[in-house]
Amino acid sequence: MLKIFAVVAFAASLSACDLFNSVSEMFKYSRAVEDELEQSIGLRPQVGFNSHNKRLVSVTVQFPNLFDKKPLGELGKAVSASVSRQFKQKPDAVVLSFVVKDNDASRTADARGLDSERIQFSR
């Protein structure tokens, strides 16, 4: 009985170790995306991810404010390329989000058609 418990405990610790390594690698990749985007566009986002069995399901890139130095389509393509490059796989979805603060209210009034703009990214 003790041997069975020891084997089960050892197997569980090995699987947990692999899980920990996978998650820590994903966090490194998300930091690399943040660094790359800060270098390329001048604004540091926060990057989160959702994975299942080492497969990247979605990546969320949240910018701290509105970004109007590039059209939204160009920004989306740059973000998608960075995510694919740093995570070394293409996620099922890349989600872009922006924090809108009170001082951004005047900029949102002139959103240049963002509400009607359709953007599609190829996988």
Q: For the residues 64-89, what does the mean pLDDT come to?
A: 92
Residue 31 confidence (pLDDT):
96
Domain span at 103:
29-109
Q: Do the domain assignments include residue 11? A: no
Give the whole-number percent of the chain exceeding pLDDT 70.
67
Q: How high is the pLDDT of residue 67?
A: 86
**pTM for this one?**
0.70
pLDDT at 90 over 80: yes
In a domain? residue 96 = yes
CATH number at residue 73: 3.30.300.90
Summarize pLDDT for 19-36 with one digit per residue, the tens: 667 778 889 999 999 999
Instruction: State residue 109's pLDDT score.
Output: 44
Under the banding of pLDDT at 50, 70 and 90, the label for residue 77 is: very high
Number of domains within the chain: 1
Q: Within a domain: residue 24?
A: no
Is there a contact between 18 and 54 (Cβ–Cβ < 8 Å)? Answer: no
pLDDT above 60: residue 62? yes
Residue 99 has pLDDT above 70, yes or no: yes
- Measured CA to CA, the distance from residue 91 to residue 54 in angstroms comes to 11
Question: Does residue 17 fall inside a structural domain?
Answer: no
Does residue 16 lie within any of the structural domains?
A: no
pLDDT at position 24: 83
Q: Does some domain include residue 73?
A: yes
Q: Express as a percent the part of the chain with pLDDT over 90.
A: 50
For the chain, the first-to-last Cα distance in angstroms comes to 51
pLDDT of res. 59: 96
CA separation, residue 115 to residues 6, 14, 110 (Å)? 59, 49, 11
The pair of structure tokens assigned to 34 is 């943040």
Q: Answer yes or no: is 13 within a domain.
A: no
User: Do the domain assignments include residue 55?
Assistant: yes
